[in-house]
């Protein structure tokens, strides 16, 4: 099936699991024409459908709790329950159990597709894999005030960054069709005595565009606080096996985001409502996803890629059973060059899909 057919099938399936925002879906379709990197971010469903065919020689790898939709811009910062500043993967909407290698291949593929990439594609694969091996040996969160101080230069929030954050919040449109259950959920997420609450609609992200996303902005003890609620649907990894299924396995969002080797965001929670599952999180200028911008690869150094591989390993290592031992043995068996080879094949397949998408009427 083509990217056109898969998109139609996936979006039909998506409508069974949430109330799709058609205008946002149109925005997503337009963004998919920007470049292959943005296209990859927006089309995890296509990746899930094809990766086992694109890289059949690695599909027998041990299964683990995986991110699924991992890419360069799926990393960000937050504060954990003890107030520590943490960096790492912060989007788990497509989390599922799958062969661990597919996370590594997707992350490496995104590096190859990043605009103005500053690292050779083979070096990028080696850096990610080096970090991943190190992370399996000593899995832990990346704490920016203790272990990975050097990462702070990539994620520090300047005065300009803070102004842009609040400008974005101020420019959000009012939410005119906010479901009652979601309204209650957002109000309940605020600290006590918060007042002057207003509800907004937010358009953000790549693959998640089209899913309902609402924001509450309120005043609390002299300043503003912001929370976001976004519809959480089953991972596209479950869709790819049987697009017609209506009952799906439980989502792995919580299992992956709060794994044994994470320092999870206490404001990031999944709630079941009469409107379906909703993900609620705190929004702030210094607790956010890191957007690498139009020149995504220009400032991407080998050390940062290595750190991404290390953080990914901390997620896989939390899988119950002998996952670390099995993954370590599998990596040893594969030798060298396999990740670059698989990512190159995935990059070419993505670029072909992108060309087909851009040619469609």
Whether residue 109 is predicted with pLDDT greater than 80 in this model: the reply is: yes
Domain ranges, ordered by start, for the chain: 3-359
For 280-313, write each residue's pLDDT tens digit.
Answer: 999 998 876 666 555 555 556 888 999 999 999 9
Q: What is the pLDDT of residue 157?
A: 83
Q: What is the pLDDT of residue 1?
A: 85
Segment 133-144 mean pLDDT: 96
User: Mean pLDDT lowest for which of 176-185, 243-252, 326-335, 343-352?
Assistant: 243-252
Average pLDDT, the chain: 92
Q: What is the pLDDT of residue 339?
A: 97
Pairing relationship of beta strands 75-79 and 96-99 according to DSSP bridges = unpaired
Segment 268-280 mean pLDDT: 92
Q: What is the pLDDT of residue 134?
A: 96
Task: For residues 81 and 147, give the distance between their C-alpha atoms in angstroms, rounded to a whole number.
Answer: 17
Q: What is the dihedral of CA 15, 21, 24, 29, to 10 degrees?
A: 30
Segment 57-77 mean pLDDT: 95
Q: What is the pLDDT of residue 154?
A: 81
Task: For residues 122 and 31, give the distance between their C-alpha atoms in angstroms, rounded to a whole number.
Answer: 28
User: Mean pLDDT lowest for which of 69-83, 110-124, 269-283?
Assistant: 110-124
pLDDT above 70: percentage of residues in the chain: 94
Whether residue 31 is predicted with pLDDT greater than 70 in this model: the reply is: yes
CA nearest 88: which of 74, 107, 103, 71?
A: 74
CA nearest 343: which of 76, 117, 89?
A: 117
Compute the C-alpha angle 66/151/143, nearest 5°.
Answer: 65
CB atoms within 10 A of CB 195: 8
Q: How far is CA 150 from CA 125, 153, 162, 257, 286, in A?
A: 21, 6, 21, 24, 16
Look at the chain and count its residues: 361
End-to-end CA distance of the chain: 18
For 307-359, write each residue's pLDDT tens digit.
Answer: 999 999 999 999 998 999 999 999 999 988 999 999 999 999 999 999 999 99
Whether residue 208 is predicted with pLDDT greater than 80 in this model: the reply is: yes
Confidence of residue 245 (pLDDT cuts 50, 70, 90): low
| 248 phi/psi in degrees, rounded to 5 | -130, 160
Distance of CA 218 to the CA centre of its chain: 27
Stronger pLDDT, 244 or 136, i.e. the higher one = 136
pLDDT above 90: percentage of residues in the chain: 79
Distance of CA 107 to the CA centre of its chain: 11
Segment 124-146 mean pLDDT: 95
Q: What is the pLDDT of residue 298?
A: 52
Confidence of residue 151 (pLDDT cuts 50, 70, 90): confident
Confidence of residue 54 (pLDDT cuts 50, 70, 90): very high
């Amino acid at each position: 099936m083509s990217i056109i057919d898969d998109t139609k099938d996936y979006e039909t399936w998506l409508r069974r699991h949430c109330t799709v925002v058609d205008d946002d879906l149109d925005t997503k379709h337009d963004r998919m024409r920007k470049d292959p990197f943005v296209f990859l971010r927006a089309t995890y469903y296509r990746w899930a459908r094809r990766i086992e065919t694109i890289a059949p020689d690695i599909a027998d790898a041990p299964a683990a709790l995986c991110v699924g939709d991992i890419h360069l811009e799926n990393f960000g910062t937050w504060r954990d329950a003890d107030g520590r500043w943490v960096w790492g993967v912060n989007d788990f909407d497509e989390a599922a159990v799958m062969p661990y290698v597919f996370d590594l291949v997707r992350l490496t593929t995104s590096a190859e597709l990043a605009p103005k990439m500053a690292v050779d594609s083979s070096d990028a694969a080696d850096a990610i894999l080096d970090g991943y091996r190190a992370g399996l040996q000593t899995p832990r969160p990346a704490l920016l005030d203790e272990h990975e101080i050097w990462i702070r230069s990539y994620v520090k929030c300047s005065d300009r960054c803070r102004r842009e954050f609040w400008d974005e919040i101020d420019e959000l449109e009012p939410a005119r069709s906010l479901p009652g259950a979601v309204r209650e959920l957002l109000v309940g997420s605020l600290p006590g005595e918060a007042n002057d609450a207003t509800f907004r609609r937010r358009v953000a992200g790549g693959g998640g565009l089209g899913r309902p996303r609402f924001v509450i902005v309120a005043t609390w003890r002299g300043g503003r606080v912001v929370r976001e609620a976004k519809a959480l649907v089953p991972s596209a990894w479950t869709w790819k096996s049987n697009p017609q299924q209506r009952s799906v396995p439980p989502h792995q969002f919580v299992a992956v985001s709060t794994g044994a080797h994470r320092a999870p965001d206490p404001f990031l929670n999944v709630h079941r409502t009469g409107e379906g599952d909703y993900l609620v999180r705190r929004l702030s200028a210094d607790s956010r996803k890191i957007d690498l911008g139009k020149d995504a690869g220009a400032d991407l150094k080998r050390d940062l890629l290595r750190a991404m591989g290390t953080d990914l390993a901390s997620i896989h290592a939390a899988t119950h059973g002998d996952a670390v031992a099995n993954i370590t043995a599998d990596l040893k068996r594969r030798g060298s060059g396999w990740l670059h080879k698989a990512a190159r094949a995935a990059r070419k397949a993505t670029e072909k899909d992108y060309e087909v998408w851009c040619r469609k009427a």
